[in-house]
Amino acid sequence: INGYPEMVLTKGQDWSKEDVEKLLERMEKNLPSNDSHTFKTAQSLMDWEKVAFKDFSGQMCKQKWLEISYNMRKFRTLSELVLEAKENVNSLHRSRKHKKHPDLPKKPLTTYIRFFKEMRPQYIQKYPKLSNQELTKVLSEEYKKLPDFSLWMFILLAVNENFILLSEIIN
């Protein structure tokens, strides 16, 4: 991925927050005093065996660093990147993906999505030569043309599903 094929290998390895902090501390200690090289150069010159700790080899540390730095701006020195990574690890909003509780029920479908899911198979048969994008456009136009009484059917289904969702959350 973007020149970092080894990144995928660390996915199975368990790194705690403390381990990541230790990695960044060890990287910081092993940075050259005059870090004027580009990120990639400094990264390639880093002695990863000196960074290694606990059960994490130098290669594993390098792979974890590649994973951490993957979404960071790279037009800086390695020192600056390590500093930013340390700030990110210690911040409360570490992950961009908010993890939801596994028992939380899914949100009910909107009236448009409900209409789309219900009508799509019929329109696929009606217009077999249309691409998905073209089919979506046709369905969108049909939804806009729906008479009020048909639209109310989908609205009532959504309201009913919302009611069920609320009762599940309360219980």
Residue 139 pLDDT level (bands cut at 50, 70, 90): very high
In a domain? residue 100:
no
In percent, the amount of the chain with pLDDT more than 90 equals 16
Query: 143 with 120: CB under 8 angstroms?
Result: no
Query: 78 with 42: CB under 8 angstroms?
Result: yes
In a domain? residue 101:
no
137 has a pLDDT exceeding 90: yes
Domain that holds residue 143: 111-170
In a domain? residue 102:
no
d(CA 56, CA 79): 21
Query: 53 with 23: CB under 8 angstroms?
Result: yes
Q: Which is nearest to 30 in space by CA: 42, 41, 46, 54?
A: 46
> Cβ of 85: how many Cβ atoms within 10 Å?
20
Our count of domains for the chain comes to 2
The answer to whether residues 26 and 57 belong to one domain is yes
What is the pLDDT at residue 38? 72
In a domain? residue 106:
no
What is the pTM for the complete model shown? 0.43
Torsion of CA 87, 89, 94, 95, to 10 degrees: 130
Assign 28 to helix, strand or coil. Answer: helix
Q: 127 or 9, which is more confident?
A: 127
The answer to whether residues 121 and 82 belong to one domain is no
In a domain? residue 159:
yes
5 has a pLDDT exceeding 50: no
In a domain? residue 97:
no
